[in-house]
Each structure stands twice: as structure tokens, then as C-alpha cells.
């Protein structure tokens, strides 16, 4: 497939990238004065900070998140496709960031911090290798774009939050190093029984064997990674829970704002992917009425790992003050993410979500013990790597032209 961008559009994108790159490259830690000096708490992925006394800690936390941006001069996608994702890959990069955060929590822990001047842990290098822009990296732009073709998205077309969530779910199946269960909760409903069946497939739920189809066929290992020293009898496969949501028509319904803020306060939070129409961001927290986010809209050269497997990683960390936007500017189509390393963490998440529902604001989704009779099961929809319902799902979550009815309590 040959990818060609309209010349005028390409010129505009290049001009925009030059401006954006200059903005990013000229900002440094010393220019953090634009971050609000406020007594209001700063929340970043489940951790609370004081902007007046913990600025260095805030910066360290933000910088330690994996920052995936547009890249250029990588091998052609599909052999003959684009060599840059500038102008169309922002939601794909946001998907990489939210999954990258899950892998960091999985292998390094939420409290891990990046230090560019120190030798990096092997697990960290293995995580980065999973996202390098080449066809054989598990979560590369190549893999996401080509898997998206099966979702009805040609290479070079913009994704919405639901599409990227579905693609990540499929790609995670092949990552036997991390052994994640990526579950995409549809219809604004999280079914506890369904998740426990997926994360503990050796247990019998509802009188039927829940061993996932094709589970015995999974193999492969991450290049440069050591196998995890886990017992075969581990009681829980780590969960990445992605919940595509629509929180309004053309604008976010203000009734959801407090509930959305609460999501960033949960210790299991992976953040939110969304943004503005056709301009995606990875939201990692909030302060006051502003969301804090990482912006993928800067074009950097593709990175090539060294011969010893090490990765030059400075461009994978945002070393400038975090971006902010008013929460009311958020496009209503989002996907919220959560990570539960253990069953206890998932049970704790369920308890906290139920508390949030009683704290005011409109619940963004429903948490139920078992599947309601009106819902179509995942198995019935056959949501496997070859499922065919993506068009229907995509029309609901990613269309800007469809009309939606917002149901209130």
C-alpha cells in the first residue's frame, strides 16, 4: 500500500511540527513557572502532590512516564506504506502511552522513576523495545496500524479511543512476557464476573470452562527480556482495563466532570486517552479545573537500538513542564484505563468505584457483579483478533456526526 499525503496538507503539518518541536525543545525544567502556584492538590495517576512544595516530585513523576510522539524515517509500514505517522498517528501514540504505563506498573512498579544519567534496568529496556518503530516490536506503530486494518481503519487513518483499545487488546495476546489480560469494557458496563473469568481462566464460572480460545497457542518472548520468575499456578493475570466512554454529545457533559477527576485519584489509574476532535492526548492527572496531559504532536526521528540491545531513551521522556487544558475542552469520546496487578487490587478498585458513585456527579459507567440479561456477551460477539463488530462499535464511540442520547439518572 502506497501512502501519499496531500502536498498542501503536508506543508501545513511540517510547519506545525517545526513550531511544535521548537516549543518543546526550548522548554526545560527551569521554565516551570507556568504550572499554577496553587494550594489545590495535583493528582497524577493516583498520586497526590502539593504544587507549592513538591514541584520537583511532580516533574520527576511526569518525566518518568513513557512519552510516545510522532516519529519519522522509520521502516515503511507494511513494506510500502508511510515512514512517518505525522498528522494521523496521535491516537495510536496515546494508546502506546497508556499501555506503556501499564507495562511500567507491571514490571517496574508505579513508584519507579527514570534517571537519564544512570544505567537502566533490563525490564525497562525490554519495555522500550516493545514500542520501537519496527515491524517486529509487539506494540510498534507498525503493529498497531496493521492490526487496525482488521478494525476497518486503513493505514494512515485517524483512530478513535475505542479502535485503539480494541487493537491493543489483540496485540497483548502475543506478549507472553507481560502476560497481561487487556479487557475492553463495552456498553458503559464493567462486569466483575467476566473480568475474574479472564484473569483466572483456570477457575470455573457459571459451570463452564473459561479457558480462553487459543490460550495454548501463545508463545514467543520479548527480545532482550528475561522470563518472569512466576509460578504456573499464579492466581491472577495482571489486568489492563480499558473503558471506552462517551460523556456528552459535542461537548463533555459537566455532570461527569467530578467523576472523571475521581478516576485520576484511584491508585489503579492508567489515565485517559482522548483529547479534541482529531487531536489526541494522553491525560495523566488534573489540578483544579485543568487536565494534565502528554502531547504526542511533535515529530522526532525514529530511534534505532544499539547493538547491545540498549535504547537511546531521552526522547521517550517528556523533559519539560506538562501540558494543561481546561477540562471542559475535552472531547466527550474517551477511554479510561486502569491496571490491577493482583485480584486484591481489582477488588479494591471495585470498592473505590462504588464509593465514587455515591460522591456526587454522574457515574461514567456501571459496575455490576454479573452480566445483565440485556447485554450481548463478549463470546457471542466473538471479540477475538478477527472479530467483525468493530464498525458498529466504532460508529458509536468515534463518530463526530452521529447523534447520541445521554441518559441521566
Which tops the pLDDT comparison, 206 or 80?
80
Bridge-based pairing of strands 70-72 and 299-301 is: parallel
pLDDT computed for residue 360 by the predictor: 66
Tell me, yes or no, if 61 is annotated catalytic. no
- Average pLDDT of the chain is 80
CA 397 to chain centre: 16
Residue 244 has pLDDT above 50, yes or no: yes
Residue 8 has pLDDT above 50, yes or no: no
pLDDT computed for residue 161 by the predictor: 95
User: Which of 85, 297, 323, 340 does the annotation list as catalytic?
Assistant: 297
Residue whose grid cell is 525544567: 29
pLDDT computed for residue 118 by the predictor: 86
Residue 131 has pLDDT above 80, yes or no: yes
Tell me, yes or no, if 318 is annotated catalytic. no
Tell me, yes or no, if 175 is annotated catalytic. no
Distance separating alpha carbons of residues 218 and 60, to the nearest angstrom: 37
User: Which of 17, 61, 295, 331 does the annotation list as catalytic?
Assistant: 295
Q: Mean pLDDT, to the nearest integer, of 182-200? A: 95
pLDDT computed for residue 210 by the predictor: 41
User: What percent of the chain has pLDDT above 70?
Assistant: 74
Residue 313 has pLDDT above 90, yes or no: yes
Q: Which residues contact 246 (CB under 8 A, 6 or more apart)?
A: 332, 333, 334, 396, 397, 404
Residue 4 has pLDDT above 70, yes or no: no
Q: pTM of this prediction?
A: 0.81
Contact indicator for 27, 321 with CB cutoff of 8 Å: yes
Which tops the pLDDT comparison, 235 or 8?
235
pLDDT computed for residue 21 by the predictor: 37
Structure confidence at residue 399 as a pLDDT band (50, 70, 90): very low
Contact indicator for 219, 179 with CB cutoff of 8 Å: no
Residue 194 has pLDDT above 50, yes or no: yes
Residue 396 has pLDDT above 60, yes or no: no
H or E stretch covering 48:
strand 47-50
Residue 375 has pLDDT above 70, yes or no: no
Helices 90-107 and 122-129, packing angle to 10 deg: 160
pLDDT digits (tens, 9 = 90+) for 136-175: 999 999 999 999 998 889 999 888 999 999 999 999 999 9
pLDDT digits (tens, 9 = 90+) for 324-355: 999 999 999 999 999 999 999 999 999 999 98
Distance separating alpha carbons of residues 196 and 215, to the nearest angstrom: 16
pLDDT computed for residue 234 by the predictor: 65
Which tops the pLDDT comparison, 266 or 226?
266
pLDDT computed for residue 320 by the predictor: 85
pLDDT computed for residue 371 by the predictor: 82
Amino acid at each position: 500500500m502506497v501512502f501519499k499525503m496531500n502536498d498542501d496538507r503536508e506543508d501545513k503539518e511540517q510547519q506545525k511540527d517545526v513550531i511544535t518541536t521548537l516549543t518543546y525543545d526550548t522548554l526545560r525544567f527551569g521554565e516551570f513557572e507556568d504550572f499554577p502556584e496553587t494550594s489545590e492538590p495535583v493528582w497524577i495517576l493516583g498520586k497526590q502532590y502539593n504544587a507549592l512544595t513538591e514541584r520537583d516530585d511532580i516533574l520527576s513523576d511526569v518525566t518518568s512516564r513513557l512519552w510516545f510522539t510522532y516519529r519519522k524515517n522509520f521502516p515503511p509500514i507494511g513494506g510500502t506504506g508511510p515512514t512517518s505517522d505525522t498528522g494521523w498517528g496521535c491516537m495510536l501514540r496515546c494508546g502506546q502511552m497508556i499501555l506503556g504505563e501499564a507495562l511500567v506498573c507491571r514490571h517496574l512498579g508505579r513508584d519507579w522513576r527514570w534517571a537519564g544519567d544512570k544505567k537502566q534496568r533490563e525490564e525497562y529496556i525490554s519495555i522500550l523495545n516493545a514500542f520501537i518503530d519496527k515491524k517486529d516490536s509487539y506494540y510498534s506503530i507498525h503493529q498497531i496500524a496493521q492490526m487496525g486494518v482488521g478494525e476497518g481503519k486503513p493505514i494512515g487513518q485517524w483512530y478513535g479511543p475505542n479502535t485503539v483499545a480494541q487493537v491493543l487488546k489483540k496485540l497483548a495476546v502475543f506478549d507472553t512476557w507481560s502476560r497481561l489480560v487487556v479487557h475492553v469494557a463495552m456498553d458503559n458496563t464493567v462486569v466483575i464476573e467476566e473480568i475474574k473469568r479472564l484473569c483466572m481462566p483456570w477457575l470455573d464460572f457459571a459451570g463452564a470452562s473459561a479457558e480462553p480460545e487459543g490460550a495454548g497457542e501463545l508463545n514467543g518472548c520479548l527480545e532482550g527480556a528475561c522470563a518472569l520468575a512466576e509460578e504456573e499456578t499464579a492466581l491472577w493475570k495482571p489486568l489492563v482495563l480499558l473503558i471506552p466512554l462517551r460523556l456528552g454529545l459535542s461537548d463533555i457533559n459537566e455532570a461527569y466532570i467530578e467523576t472523571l477527576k475521581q478516576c485520576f485519584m484511584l491508585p489503579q489509574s492508567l489515565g485517559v486517552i482522548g483529547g479534541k476532535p482529531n487531536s489526541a492526548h494522553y491525560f495523566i492527572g488534573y489540578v483544579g479545573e485543568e487536565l494534565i496531559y502528554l502531547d504526542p504532536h511533535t515529530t522526532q526521528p525514529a530511534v534505532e537500538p544499539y547493538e547491545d540491545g540498549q535504547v537511546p531513551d531521552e526522547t521517550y521522556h517528556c523533559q519539560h513542564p506538562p501540558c494543561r487544558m481546561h477540562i471542559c475542552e475535552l472531547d466527550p469520546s474517551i477511554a479510561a484505563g486502569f491496571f490491577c496487578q493482583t485480584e486484591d487490587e481489582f477488588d479494591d478498585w471495585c470498592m473505590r468505584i462504588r464509593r465514587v458513585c455515591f460522591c456526587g456527579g454522574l457515574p461514567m459507567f456501571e459496575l455490576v457483579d454479573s452480566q445483565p440479561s440485556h447485554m450481548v456477551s463478549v463470546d457471542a460477539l466473538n471479540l477475538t483478533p478477527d472479530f467483525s463488530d468493530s464498525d458498529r462499535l466504532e460508529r458509536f464511540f468515534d463518530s463526530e456526526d452521529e447523534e447520541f442520547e445521554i441518559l441521566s439518572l
